[in-house]
Amino acid sequence: MQSAINSMKYPAKISLPVDHMRRILLLRAVGVVGQMVASVWVFYYLDLSLPLQPLSITLSILCLFSLATSFFLKGRSRVTEGALFFQLVADVVFLTVVLYWTGGAVNPFAWFLLVPQSLASSLLSYRYAWWMAFFTSLAYSLLVFFYQPLIYSSHMVSMDGQFSDHIMGMWIGFMLSTHLMAYFVAGMADSLRKRNALLTAMNEQIFRDERLVALGSLAAGAAHELGTPLGTIDVLTHELARQANKLNDIEMVDNMTLIQGQIKRCKDVLSSITKTAGEDKYSTGQVQAVDQYVDNVLAQWQISHLDVTIEKHLIGPSPANKMVPELGLTHALINLLDNAAQASPEYVSITINWDDKHLFITIEDKGKGMGELQLQQLDKPVASSKDMGLGIGIYLTKANIERMGGHISWENRVGGGISAMLSAPLGI
C-alpha cells in the first residue's frame, strides 16, 4: 500500500504549516516597515514626541527574532502548530511593547492586536485560538491602564483629548487592517482549502487502491480455480475438432478452431495474472515506436474480433516517438476496444496522436451511447452500459490510466455512440 501511495500523481510534499509560517514572517515584515513609516510621519508631521530609542530597540529585536525564525525554517519540511502559536504570541508581545510606548489604548492602531487573533482562529486548533484570545485580551486590557502617553509639543494626549486625530488614525488603521487581512488570511484559508481538496483526492486514491488490491486477490483466486475447467474444455474441444475432421464438417471445424483460440486466450490471461503479479510494471521492458506498439495491441485484440470492422488513424508527427509500453496501458486499450466492439461491431475507430511526452488515443463506436448519469458513474466499480455487465473493466481501465499519470474521459458522440479519450505518458 505504501508503494501505491508513493506512486500517486500529486505534489511530492505539501508543507502548509511552513507556508503559514512564511506568510506570518511576511506579514511581520510589512508591520515593521509600517511602524517605521508611521513613526517618522507622526514625529515630523503630527508634532508628536515619540520615544525613538525604546521603539528602535524593540523593532530591532523583532527583526533579529524574525531572522532567527527564517533560519529555523531552512531545510524544514514541517512546522508544528505550537511553533505557529509561539510566533503569533511573539507578535502580540512586540506589538504590545510598541503600543505601550505610543499611547497604549489611545493609539488608534491598538486594535491591530486582533490580527494575530484572526490568524490563530483561522490556522490553529480550538485550544490555541482560545489561548490567543486570552493573551490579546490581557494585552489590550493592560494597555488601557499602563502606557506612556503621547505628547504634543504643547500638551499630552489622554483618552479624551484630540478625538478627531484618534478617529482619523482609526480610519487609517481600519483600511490597512482590512487589506492586510484580506491578503494574508484569505491566502492561508485558500491553502487550507487546497489541503482539504488534496486530502480528499488522496483518500479516494487510497480507496481505489484498496479496491484494486481486493480485485487482484479475487483475480488470483479465480485464475487458480478456472485452470482445471479450462483444461477440460480444451481437451474436449480437441476431441470434437478431431471428430469434425473425420466427418469433413467444415463449419464445425471452423467453430472448434474459434473456440480453441478463445480458450488459448483465456489461458494466456490467467497465466499473465500469476506470472506478472510480482514483475515490473512494464510489459516488455523494450522501447518501441508508438505506431508499432499500437499495431501490436490491435493485432493481439483482433485475434478474437475477426468480424469487427476497425478504422485506424495515425495523426501524430513522423517519425513516431518512442515509448516504453506498460502492461496496464495495454489492458486498458483492450478493454476500451472490447466495449466499443460490443456496442457496434460494424464500426470501431481508433485515433492515435502523440507529442514529446504523451500519447493520446481516442476510441469511438456507433452504439446507442449512454445517459449523462451513466457517463458520470463510469469510474465506479459497478457502472456498465451492458445489461449483464459489472463495470469492473472500465473501473480497472480508469485506475490503470490514472496510476501511470494519465487521464481518461468519455462523452457521447454527435452521430451516436461513445468516444473514449485517454492520454498517458510515453515513459521515456
Task: Identify the residue with better confidence: 407 or 277.
Answer: 407
Residue pLDDT, tens place only, 325-354: 887 788 888 888 988 888 888 889 999 999
Quote the DSSP letter at residue 370. Answer: -
CATH topology of domain 288-425: Heat Shock Protein 90 (3.30.565)
DSSP-derived 3-state class of residue 90: helix
Q: Is the pLDDT of residue 383 over 80?
A: no
Q: Is the pLDDT of residue 116 over 60?
A: yes
Task: Report the distance separating Cα 235 and Cα 364, nearest Å.
Answer: 38
Average pLDDT for residues 128-140, to the nearest whole number? Answer: 84
Task: Report the distance separating Cα 263 and Cα 250, nearest Å.
Answer: 20
Average pLDDT for residues 16-39, to the nearest whole number? Answer: 80
Identify the pLDDT of residue 234. Answer: 82
Average pLDDT for residues 309-320, to the nearest whole number? Answer: 87
State percent of the chain over pLDDT 70.
72
pLDDT band at 218 (very low <50, low <70, confident <90, very high): low
Task: Report the distance separating Cα 43 and Cα 48, nearest Å.
Answer: 5
Locate the domains of the chain by residue range: 2-204, 212-275, 288-425
State percent of the chain over pLDDT 90.
5
Cis peptide before 149 (omega within 30 of 0): no
Task: Identify the residue with better confidence: 182 or 258.
Answer: 258
Identify the pLDDT of residue 198. Answer: 77
Residue pLDDT, tens place only, 352-375: 999 888 899 999 998 888 877 777
- Rounded alpha-carbon distances, angstroms, from residue 47 to 33, 40, 43, 314: 21, 11, 6, 80
pLDDT band at 74 (very low <50, low <70, confident <90, very high): confident
User: Among 72-81, 115-124, 268-277, 385-394, which is the least confidently predicted range?
Assistant: 385-394
Quick check: 94 and 57 in contact, CB under 8 A?
A: no
